[in-house]
Amino acid sequence: MKNLHGKVALITGSTSGIGLAVAHKLASQGTRVVIHGLLAQKDGELICRELAEHTGGTASYHRADLRNPEEISALIGGVSEDAGEIDILINNAGVQHVSPIQDFAVECWNDMLAVNLSAPFHTIRLCVPAMKKKGWGRIVNVASISGLRGRAEKPGYNATKHGLIGLTKSVALELAGYDITCNALCPGWALTPIVQKQIESFSKKNGMDFPTATRELVSLRQPSGRLVKVEHLASLVMFLCSDEAAEVRGAAWTMDGGTTAQ
């Protein structure tokens, strides 16, 4: 995809999982990738070197705790100074916590709102002026099928991911007159650190080993019986960032092994 060459892309929460796969995919297209996360600088830089070796592309690392709006402002300012103003913003960082509502820790609720919903609000509001100036921009918010349907004991995740899809639609409509799009990606289950924790707790609760617990859970949740591959999610994100996707606006695009078709 020629149009991605030389563009600057910030991918939040990209030291692992879906975000890292997106970073690899965009870097392989010649995009200047900015990896972000909570790791120490030297560990983040190691991930950038590995990415450069695998893709032949370039990446830099910025650390910021997305619970803190001041750190988000510093992140966007720092990226713009180092790599250039952001053309592609992938709001991927997210946290998960599963608990009955009566026991749901207030701190977890506040962290989920901050990371899953308020952080994308801040990054978008801070990136849109430069995108408007350049006349081009792509925003992809990594939501979830939990943004489209409910599940017991996930009040924080369901609320924030539904909210993120609402934010996506509003921003997409506001920017519909520009070559700036805003879309949401709604993955089903993919094996990443967030899901690993859920499978581990299911396997402990049911006295199963990890592979059996994975098979059981996935076949319960996903009609395909298979996990979604992070590389496939990254390809969809790459498409949403392309010129060909210019009129995909405000979509909540699923890749979920058929889950939401049920």
Catalytic residues: 157
Residue range at the interface with ligand NAD (CB under 6 A); choices 9-17, 52-60, 124-132, 213-221: 9-17
Nearer to ligand NAD (CB atom), residue 143 or residue 171: 143
Q: Helix/strand/coil (H, E, C) string of 196-226?
A: HHHHHHHHHHHCCCHHHHHHHHHHHHCCCCC
**8 φ, ψ (degrees, to nearest 5):** -105, 125
What is the total count of residues that contact ligand NAD (CB under 6 A)?
25
Which x/- pattern over 68-107 shows residues binding ligand NAD (rule: CB under 6 A)?
A: ------------------------xxxx------------
**Count of alpha carbons within 13 Å of 81, Cβ hemisphere only?**
8
From candidates 3, 16, 224, 235, binder to ligand NAD by CB under 6 A: 16
Instruction: Report whether 36 contacts 10 (CB < 8 A).
Output: yes
Q: How many helices (H) and strands (E) does the chain have?
A: 9, 7
Asked if 67 interacts with ligand NAD (CB under 6 A), we say: yes
For residue 223, the minimal CB distance to ligand NAD (Å) is 15
Residue range at the interface with ligand NAD (CB under 6 A); choices 49-57, 60-68, 99-107, 204-212: 60-68
For residue 124, the minimal CB distance to ligand NAD (Å) is 15
d(CA 184, CA 85): 22
Instruction: Specify the amino acid at residue 137.
Output: G
Asked if 181 interacts with ligand NAD (CB under 6 A), we say: no
Nearer to ligand NAD (CB atom), residue 15 or residue 28: 15
Instruction: Specify the amino acid at residue 197.
Output: K
Nearer to ligand NAD (CB atom), residue 30 or residue 78: 78
Asked if 142 interacts with ligand NAD (CB under 6 A), we say: yes
Tokens of 65: 């705790």
Instruction: Report whether 160 contacts 146 (CB < 8 A).
Output: no
Nearer to ligand NAD (CB atom), residue 149 or residue 169: 149
Asked if 187 interacts with ligand NAD (CB under 6 A), we say: yes
Which positions ≥6 away from 25 have C-beta within 8 Å? 231, 234, 235, 237, 238
Nearer to ligand NAD (CB atom), residue 133 or residue 201: 201
From candidates 22, 182, 195, 199, binder to ligand NAD by CB under 6 A: 195
Q: Where would I find the H helices in 29-154? A: 41-55, 69-82, 106-112, 119-134
Per-residue DSSP letter, 190: B
Asked if 216 interacts with ligand NAD (CB under 6 A), we say: no
Binding interface with ligand NAD (CB under 6 A): 13, 15-19, 37-38, 65-67, 92-95, 115, 142, 144, 187, 189-190, 192-195
